[in-house]
């Protein structure tokens, strides 16, 4: 398995770097390694800085996997959805340092940060499912309704509007934008600041504030799972029906 995600933990801060050498697409291996990095961070009670590679935070799911069969596609899609749930329920501070484009799942991961930093530039932040002919997943709708500014939810979800970094702050995808050379230093300063908080109070307040949302989010992910299962069954039985002869 190639190394797609690396992490290091120092002074209570886990810096997790997603880097597949290309577009940072979320394959099953990519998602597994990201979860392992989060396991290591949580075991150390560490705050998380999640970032990507040069000019790309995450470009969404690996489309090649979708062509390898229903089982692989199901594993990847559900893995991505549950990853966003895990990040939204991570007990310690999460800072997303978005160093470039964030597309589809990448934009949804972006929304899971307690604080979201971006970099100046003409980068694309977009949920492009509708443009690509896909129904927006239930869980994506729930997450975006919770985190995006109300005036931008429909534009982002139904119209596949593309936001640059500055526009993404207005929309609610990002909290602030800095120069690229200040991205990680700023994220590290924020992480140090947030570690000075009472972590028990942070954790309990996070779960108190997000309790209703997390229940709704989990139900939405399960609805997506059931929808994928029904879609797969229809394809299987549809193929069998077409293959029958009189």
Rounded distance, CA 72 to CA 242, Å? 24
pLDDT band at 206 (very low <50, low <70, confident <90, very high): very high
Which structural domains are found in the chain, ordered by start? 5-195 (3.90.226.10)
Percent of the chain with pLDDT over 70: 93
The confidence band for 243, taking pLDDT boundaries of 50, 70 and 90, is low
| CA angle centred on 147, ends 149 and 179, rounded to 5° | 80
Rounded distance between C-alpha atoms, residue 6 and residue 237, angstroms: 42
Angle formed at CA 100 by CA 111 and CA 138, multiple of 5 degrees: 30
**77-117, pLDDT tens digit by residue?**
999 999 999 999 999 999 999 999 999 999 999 999 999 99
Rama region for 13: left / alpha / beta (φ>0; ψ in -120 to 50; rest): beta
Mean pLDDT of 204-233: 90
Which residues neighbour 16 within 8 Å (Cβ) at sequence distance 6 or greater?
5, 6, 7, 34, 37, 38, 41, 48, 49, 50, 51
Q: How far is CA 82 from the centre of its chain?
A: 9
Return the beta strands (E) in 44-154 as ranges: 47-51, 55-58, 94-98, 100-103, 115-119, 125-126
CA distances from 90 to 84, 112, 202, 212, 244 (A): 10, 9, 11, 16, 50
Burial class (CB in 10 A: 0-12, 13-18, 19+), 110: buried
**pTM value surpassing 0.75:** yes
pLDDT in tens, 129-165: 999 999 999 999 999 999 999 999 999 999 999 999 9
Instruction: Quote the percentage of the chain above a pLDDT of 90.
Output: 86
Query: What is the DSSP code string of 16-51?
Result: EEE--SSS--B-HHHHHHHHHHHHHHHHTT-EEEEE
Q: What's the pLDDT at 246?
A: 35
Q: Are 45 and 12 in contact (CB under 8 A)?
A: yes
Query: Counting every residue, how long is the chain?
Result: 246
Please give the Cα distance from 210 to 217 (Å, whole number).
Answer: 10
């Amino acid at each position: 398995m190639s190394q797609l995600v690396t992490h290091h933990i120092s002074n209570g801060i886990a810096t997790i770097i997603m880097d597949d050498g290309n577009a940072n697409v979320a394959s099953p291996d990519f998602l597994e390694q990201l979860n392992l990095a989060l396991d290591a961070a949580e075991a150390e009670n560490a705050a998380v800085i999640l970032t990507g590679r040069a000019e790309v935070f995450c470009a969404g799911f690996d489309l090649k996997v979708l062509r390898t069969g229903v089982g692989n596609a199901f594993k990847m899609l559900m893995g991505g959805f549950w990853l966003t749930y895990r990040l939204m329920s991570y007990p310690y501070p999460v800072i997303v340092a978005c160093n470039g484009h964030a597309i589809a799942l990448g934009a949804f991961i972006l929304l899971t940060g307690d604080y979201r930093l971006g970099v100046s530039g003409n980068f694309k932040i977009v949920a492009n499912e509708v443009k690509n002919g896909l129904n927006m997943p239930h869980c994506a709708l729930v997450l975006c309704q919770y985190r995006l500014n109300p005036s931008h939810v429909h534009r982002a979800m139904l119209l596949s509007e593309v936001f640059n970094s500055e526009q993404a702050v207005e929309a609610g995808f990002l909290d602030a934008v800095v120069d690229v050379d200040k991205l990680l230093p700023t994220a590290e300063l924020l992480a140090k600041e947030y570690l000075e908080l009472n972590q028990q109070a942070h954790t309990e307040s996070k779960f108190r504030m997000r309790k209703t949302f997390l229940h709704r989010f989990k139900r939405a992910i399960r609805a997506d799972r059931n929808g994928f299962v029904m879609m797969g069954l229809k394809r299987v039985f549809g193929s069998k029906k077409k293959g029958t002869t009189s």
